[in-house]
A and B are shown apart, each in its own frame.
Chain A
Amino acid sequence: MKKHVSRLIFSLIAVILSVCFLMGAGAEMANLAEPLVIDLDLSNMSGTVVYAQVYNMMCDPDSYLGKVIRMAGYYNYFDDQAHGIVYHACIVPDATACCAQGIEFVWAGEHLWPDEYPEIGTDIIVTGRLELYEEDGMKYLHLVDAELTWNQEIKP
């Protein structure tokens, strides 16, 4: 009888653990599959408006922090060899093309640079959540968990 009870308890624990595991994995899968809900889509706006909007985001970041932003621009990077960090950015030039605003992004997942990244100047679309981070006492903005798309057939 005791044997049956202990078997039952073990079975119950196994079932509970399995359910918990499956629920956790399911939630994780749901997280992975869940598309980002875009709060501010700049990808279909005119260059002048996008430039001004990005400028405003840089000047008043508090109003935009945590929002999911999609923007179109061209790809550029900065290789900080002193710290061993490569910063990736989506750049938006103004109408006269003498000034440019850019937002740094962190591509979600593991991606090998430079092989898997677009070439400099490639038109890209980035979607990510705007966050503030601090480095060497300075505050910077970047789009995290970013989705990056570009036409891989067209080379600049």
Chain B
Amino acid sequence: MIDQLRTYLNFPFVQYALIVGVLIALCSSLLGVTLVLKRFSFIGDGLSHVAFGAMAIAGVLRLTNDMLFVLPVTVLSAVLLLRTGQNTKIKGDAAIAMISVGALAVGYLLLSLFSTSANLSGDVCTTLFGSTSILTLTQAEVWLCTGLSLAVVLIFAFFYNKIFAVTFDEDFARASGTKAEAYNLLIAVVIAVIIVLAMNLVGSLLISALIIFPAMSAMRLFKSFKSVTICSAVLSVTCALLGILISILWSTPVGSTIVAVDIGAFLIFCTIAKIKGGIAK
């Protein structure tokens, strides 16, 4: 098995998958903690469906690089979603649900009506579940993912204190002079970028798992924002690496394998937390 793994690691597409997988897992875990704490866990799900709809339109328009279309549309939706969430007429959860299912339905409708692809179900399946798209990345896509991931990490590191303040007590942050709206907008934009990147890794249906599970697992054992974020990042990267390696060794779907490993880690962390809690009592 080790020899086989060594052989696989020589393939450029496996190396690309590991690099991009690690970077996406790192980015999603960093923002995952903020989203879980702000009760925005499902924004990832809503935006991923928007990205699916945008991808369908890009496919119908036969755009060669669909990311150039999908990324701005998802970012715009994230901004709109955040503003609509503040509107009293349509509550945040209803807005997410509307955009989520609406984009999914319109995307599939457009694909069914106008797609010239010979394998429509295959295209839909690949977009929804990731399939093996992480293993079929081009060098240009790897560079784009790397650049965007580094930007996300730098933004998080640079605005760490502000994000921390906005996450825990938005009213206090606003009262102390922090532009909470601007930082919420920044978080929404960064989340949109992560969603578009993560579609290659786990597909649009499983993105929420990548954002939520590492943060939730870390919260079982750690209590401070910093320790939860660090633990979440380490766990997310480890699970993504393990998931990709398992899927290439045992021929399982990449996205769902990563999520399954995340679920396993969550159960392990829950057990450890219970044991620790039992000992403490």
A98 touches B254 (CB 8 A): no
B129 touches A96 (CB 8 A): yes
B132 touches A94 (CB 8 A): yes
- Judged by a CB distance under 8 angstroms, whether B250 is at the interface is yes
Enumerate chain A residues within 8 angstroms of B254, measured Cβ to Cβ.
Answer: 48, 95
- The majority secondary structure among interface residues of chain B is helix
B252 touches A55 (CB 8 A): no
B253 touches A95 (CB 8 A): yes
Q: Which of A51, A53, A98 has the most CB of B within 10 A?
A: A98
> Can you name the residue of chain B whose Cβ is closest to the Cβ of A63?
B12
B126 touches A99 (CB 8 A): yes
Q: How far is the CB of A47 from chain B (nearest CB, A)?
A: 4
A51 to B134, CA, bound (A): 12
- Judged by a CB distance under 8 angstroms, whether A59 is at the interface is yes
B248 touches A46 (CB 8 A): yes
Q: How far is the CB of A129 from chain B (nearest CB, A)?
A: 21
A9 to B8, CA, bound (A): 64
Given A98-B121, A99-B119, check contact A46 B132 (CB 8 Å): no
- Judged by a CB distance under 8 angstroms, whether A49 is at the interface is yes
Enumerate chain B residues within 8 angstroms of A49, measured Cβ to Cβ.
Answer: 8, 11, 14, 135, 248, 251
> Can you name the residue of chain A whose Cβ is closest to the Cβ of B249?
A46
- Judged by a CB distance under 8 angstroms, whether B84 is at the interface is no
A53 touches B122 (CB 8 A): no
B131 touches A94 (CB 8 A): yes
B121 touches A95 (CB 8 A): no
> Can you name the residue of chain A whose Cβ is closest to the Cβ of B17?
A52
A95 touches B125 (CB 8 A): no
- Judged by a CB distance under 8 angstroms, whether A13 is at the interface is no
- Judged by a CB distance under 8 angstroms, whether A45 is at the interface is yes
Q: Considering the complex, which residues of chain B in the window 1-51 have a beta carbon less than 8 Å from any beta carbon of chain A?
A: 4, 7-8, 11, 13-14
Q: Which of B132, B247, B250, B253 has the most CB of A within 10 A?
A: B132
Enumerate chain A residues within 8 angstroms of B7, measured Cβ to Cβ.
Answer: 45
Total interface residues in chain B, CB < 8 Å: 25
- Judged by a CB distance under 8 angstroms, whether A56 is at the interface is yes
Taking a contact as CB atoms closer than 8 A, the residue among A52, A94, A100 that contacts B13 in the complex is: A52
A46 to B135, CA, bound (A): 13
- Chain B 118-144, CB-CB to A under 8 Å as 1, else 0, gives 010110011001011001101000000
Q: How far is the CB of A45 from chain B (nearest CB, A)?
A: 7
Q: Considering the complex, which residues of chain A in the window 50-102 have a beta carbon less than 8 Å from any beta carbon of chain B?
A: 51-53, 55-56, 59, 94-96, 98-100
B252 touches A98 (CB 8 A): no
B125 touches A96 (CB 8 A): yes
Contacts A46-B8, A98-B129, A99-B132 given; 19 further ones with Cβ under 8 A? A45-B8, A46-B251, A47-B251, A48-B248, A48-B252, A49-B8, A49-B251, A51-B132, A51-B135, A53-B13, A94-B131, A94-B253, A95-B247, A95-B251, A96-B129, A96-B131, A98-B121, A99-B119, A99-B125
24 of the cross-chain contacts (CB-CB < 8 Å) are A45-B4, A46-B250, A48-B247, A48-B252, A48-B254, A49-B135, A52-B11, A52-B135, A53-B11, A55-B132, A55-B136, A56-B13, A94-B131, A94-B132, A95-B131, A95-B253, A95-B254, A96-B129, A96-B253, A98-B131, A99-B122, A99-B125, A99-B126, A99-B132
